[in-house]
Amino acid sequence: MSATANHRIVVAVDGSGTAATAALWAATEAVRRDVPLLVFTAYGIEDTGFGGKVYPPSEWLAVKQAEADGLLRRTRATVQAAVPGLEIATEASDRGAVPALLEISHRAHLLVTGEPAGAIAGLFSGSPDVDLAAKAHCPVVVVRGAENVDGPVVVGCDGSPLSEAAIAWGFEEASIRNAPLIALYVWHDGDSAGLFSDGNVAFQGETVRESGHRLLAERLAGWPEKYPDVRVERRVDHDKPRHRLLSTSHGAQLLVVGSRGRGGVTGLVLGSTSQALLHHAACPVMVVRAEIA
CATH number, domain of 111, equals 3.40.50.620
Distance in angstroms (rounded) separating the CA atoms of residues 159 and 212: 7
Largest CA distance in the chain: 72
Q: Is residue 293 part of a domain?
A: no
Statement to judge: residues 106 and 171 lie in one domain? no
pLDDT given at position 104: 94
Q: For strands 232-238 and 88-93, give the pairing.
A: unpaired
Closest CA to 157 of 126, 207, 194, 125: 194
Residue ending a domain, choose from 89, 109, 143: 143
Statement to judge: residues 224 and 255 lie in one domain? yes
Residues contacting residue 271 through CB under 8 Å, at least 6 positions apart:
126
Statement to judge: residues 163 and 230 lie in one domain? yes
Residue ending a domain, choose from 143, 177, 195: 143
pLDDT given at position 56: 67
User: Which residue range(s) make up the domain with 235?
Assistant: 153-288
Statement to judge: residues 107 and 52 lie in one domain? yes
Distance in angstroms (rounded) separating the CA atoms of residues 123 and 141: 12
Q: Which residues in 190-218 are b (16+ Cβ under 10 Å) and which e?
A: ebeebbbeeebebeeeeebeebbebbbee
Question: What is the number of domains present in the chain?
Answer: 2
Statement to judge: residues 117 and 230 lie in one domain? no
Statement to judge: residues 172 and 127 lie in one domain? no
pLDDT given at position 284: 95
Statement to judge: residues 97 and 191 lie in one domain? no
Statement to judge: residues 96 and 214 lie in one domain? no
Statement to judge: residues 131 and 182 lie in one domain? no
Statement to judge: residues 173 and 247 lie in one domain? yes
Q: Is residue 148 part of a domain?
A: no
Residue ending a domain, choose from 143, 161, 188: 143
Distance in angstroms (rounded) separating the CA atoms of residues 110 and 102: 12
pLDDT given at position 3: 44
pLDDT given at position 6: 62
Statement to judge: residues 68 and 133 lie in one domain? yes
pLDDT given at position 271: 46
Statement to judge: residues 32 and 103 lie in one domain? yes
Closest CA to 246 of 293, 285, 201: 285
Print pLDDT tens along the chain (293 aa).
334 456 899 999 999 999 999 999 999 999 999 999 999 999 887 654 444 555 667 888 889 899 999 999 999 999 999 999 999 999 999 888 888 999 999 999 999 999 866 556 667 665 554 578 778 899 999 999 888 889 999 998 876 666 788 999 999 999 999 999 999 988 765 554 444 444 444 555 567 778 888 888 988 999 999 999 999 999 998 778 888 899 999 999 999 988 753 433 444 333 456 667 878 899 999 988 765 44
Q: Is residue 53 part of a domain?
A: yes
Q: Is residue 211 part of a domain?
A: yes
